[in-house]
Chains A and B, each alone.
Chain A
Amino acid sequence: MLGKASARGLVGLLLVALPVSLVGWLVIWPIISAVQRTVWRASPDGAGHFDLSSYVFFFSDAYSLNNLSLTLWTTSVCAALLLVVSLPIALYLRFARGRLASYVQALAILPMFVPSVILAYALIRVLGPNGLIDLLLNAAGLPKLRTPYLTPWGPVIGLVWDNIPLTVLILLSGLGAVGNSAIEAARDVGANRRQRLWHIILPQITTSILVALSFAVLGIFSAFTLPYLLGPASPEMMGPYMQRTFRDLNDPVGAVTQAVVTFGFCIVFGLFYVRSVARNQGK
């Protein structure tokens, strides 16, 4: 009996060994090596020494701090907008039936299959200067709107659209756990729609909301293509800034420092996610 159990345990360990070692090799090790490379630097004579100068530079450089604050701004605006847009869609899909609902679902999932480069060029054609929106406004005799292209709102619009499917799917799976019976019971005792949402549905999907937001935030924080193509030249988001520092300025230490700072912010959201998953499993 005991032998069988331990053999099964061994098979289990072997099964997880591959993903765990991949994560260790491709994720954990690069993090350790990045931190190590930025704080333990080689002197010209070859000897290593403790050196925080690249971090001191980052946090005393107004240009870098501007980029960081733009990244934080973009991420929080996107997260808020995502929740505002995705929650109603998820609620609708959870409770609606029929053909229209499946069309809405297909439409909400569509961005998942559109590569971001194509999305960026499409947005330029639609929202960009003299794009589709401008043409429609002009045809209706209305004045032009100021285009979000090449301003910080360009990447916000693109990133929100790009992240709708994942957010909707996660919220939808959370809503799946909300029983019809609880909602019907609440309706029977006279709770109106808002009360049912606030007191019955939302408390049951807080974990899903947290998970959805931390996924979206992690993706948006390190976004590259959309801020690169739609955003302003300055300030930059951290993704394009890192790439530029590494490739154009030939400054790997600076780029790795920016990456470590970015990682430091992301790990906070990562911890949110891990904690909510752990708490969920503990239940």
Chain B
Amino acid sequence: MVGPLRDKTMKRRAFLISTAGTAAGLMLLPKLSFAAPGQIDWYTGSDANVLDFWTNSVKPAFEAAHPDLKLNLVNASNNAGIQAIGERAVAAMQTNTDPQADFFEQADPQLPQGGIEAGLYVNMKQAGLSNYSKLNPLAIDSDFSLPYRGSQVLLAYDTTRLSAADVPKTWDALVAWIKAHPGQFVYNRPDKGGSGGNFVRRAIHQANGLDPKLFTVGNYTEAFGNEALGKAWELLNDLAPSLYDNGAYSSGNTQSIQLLSQGVVVMTPVWSDQVLQAIAQGVLPDTTGIVQLQDLALCGGFSRCVVLGNGRNREAALKLADFVLTEAMQDAVLNELGGFPGVSWDYVSANLREKFADIIPNSIPTFPSGAWEAAVNDGWYRNVAPAIDRKS
């Protein structure tokens, strides 16, 4: 789960899983009441595929490299679960007791508020990690968190119908291609999944001088919003008649992948991890190509881990943090998780670098959430979606 825009259906599923998980967790709690020395208490709020990745790849490798240390992988179900454990750690700090937590697989160090000031999280930059310098500077968000996996929206296409040599690599080339091949491109509604959402954001960047820095969390005003977004709606409305079924929008990330896999469309925006996994699982054929726009990439985001300052196994947890940035683990992030490396591409193995050359971004643009997100979603529904009468 990267970014706030992931599939809503996945959120509902995650809710069900989390309810079940909470019930199961309650039954497990008595067992975990003491932090064992040398056992790193690790929590994740991410999807099941991430927990599987840690269980099957990271844990065995780490325990083999550090025979005296053990990893205790705990599913906190979702971000709210992680936050609850973070708050418990703050409380433990005040009473100087054991928080029974050492490592969060994905967390925002800004939460709980005041945590950084209270020393809840270790400053990764000053922690002396041997691999810290390898981090992709584009991915660093805070000194207190360590970006170790990312995903980004890319364009997936059917190489049997569009050869890799002809694939569009700039926005203008993409627009020209879509117009020359009506009905062959689809993107999902921007609020229903980040792949379509970030395609819409790419149009916003295009309409506003390719400058992602123009939009910040705090600078939304109605006047600026209407002006900046209005130009993007023009671009998207111009595309609409050339889209799948004369302007239909799928209802989520997976639905776009489904249309691609059924050979209905030739190209669609996708999340990098979802498309790599879909190819690995055979949902999409091996002949699926992926490409990133080279003039300005589509938006993406990183998952960042944190180490708790008052955890009983802090030093061991820092070893783990350093370990996930090693070349072997970062290769595994690419190969097994379908994610992007948190380190610069120079620090993954050469054959992988070559294999993914087409999708290595020059930049990883982001787009603010908050008021902008609401404006983008509502604006799109009001200005772009109804452009064509769908009843006929």
Mark contacts of A229-263 with chain B using CB atoms, 8 A cut-off: 1 yes-contact digit, 0 otherwise: 10111111000000010011111000000000000
In the complex, identify which listed stretch (B38-46, B102-110, B255-263, B285-293) lies at the interface while the others stay far away.
B255-263
Does A63 belong to the interface (CB within 8 Å)? Answer: yes
A235 — which chain B residues lie within 8 A by C-beta? 386, 390
Specify which of A117, A130, A251 is in contact with B9 (CB 8 Å cutoff). A117
A228 — which chain B residues lie within 8 A by C-beta? 251
Interface residues of A in 105-142 (CB under 8 A from B): 117, 124, 128-131
Does B131 belong to the interface (CB within 8 Å)? Answer: no
A158 — which chain B residues lie within 8 A by C-beta? none
A72 — which chain B residues lie within 8 A by C-beta? none
Q: Is the interface of B mostly helix, strand, loop or mixed?
A: helix
Q: Is the interface of A mostly helix, strand, loop or mixed?
A: loop
- Looking at B259, B381, B382, B391, which has the most chain A CB atoms within 10 Å of its CB? B381
Interface residues of A in 198-250 (CB under 8 A from B): 228-229, 231-236, 244, 247-250
Interface residues of B in 360-392 (CB under 8 A from A): 373-374, 377-378, 381-382, 385-386, 390-391
Inter-chain contact A234/B386, CB cutoff 8 Å: yes
Does A91 belong to the interface (CB within 8 Å)? Answer: no
When chains A and B are docked, how far (Å) is the Cα of A229 from the Cα of B374?
21
Does A276 belong to the interface (CB within 8 Å)? Answer: no
A129-B264, A244-B381 are contacts. A66–B191 as well, Cβ < 8 Å?
A: no
Specify which of A63, A129, A234 is in contact with B262 (CB 8 Å cutoff). A129
Number of interface residues of A (CB under 8 A): 26
When chains A and B are docked, how far (Å) is the Cα of A228 from the Cα of B390?
15
A124-B258, A235-B386 are contacts. A229–B391 as well, Cβ < 8 Å?
A: no
Inter-chain contact B374/A249, CB cutoff 8 Å: yes
Does A150 belong to the interface (CB within 8 Å)? Answer: yes
Q: Smallest CB-CB separation from A236: which chain B residue?
A: B381
Does B315 belong to the interface (CB within 8 Å)? Answer: no
B191 — which chain A residues lie within 8 A by C-beta? 244, 248
Does B189 belong to the interface (CB within 8 Å)? Answer: yes
Q: Smallest CB-CB separation from B183: which chain A residue?
A: A129
Inter-chain contact B377/A244, CB cutoff 8 Å: yes
When chains A and B are docked, how far (Å) is the Cα of A180 from the Cα of B354?
79
Does A76 belong to the interface (CB within 8 Å)? Answer: no
* Pairs across A and B, CB under 8 Å, 7 listed: A150-B390, A151-B245, A229-B255, A231-B251, A232-B248, A248-B191, A248-B374
Give 6 closest A-B pairs by Cβ, nearest first. Answer: A234-B385, A232-B390, A233-B385, A150-B248, A129-B264, A233-B249
Please name 5 further chain A to chain B contacts, defined as beta carbons within 8 Å, in addition to the given A152-B391, A233-B390, sorted by A numbering: A128-B262, A131-B262, A151-B248, A232-B385, A249-B378
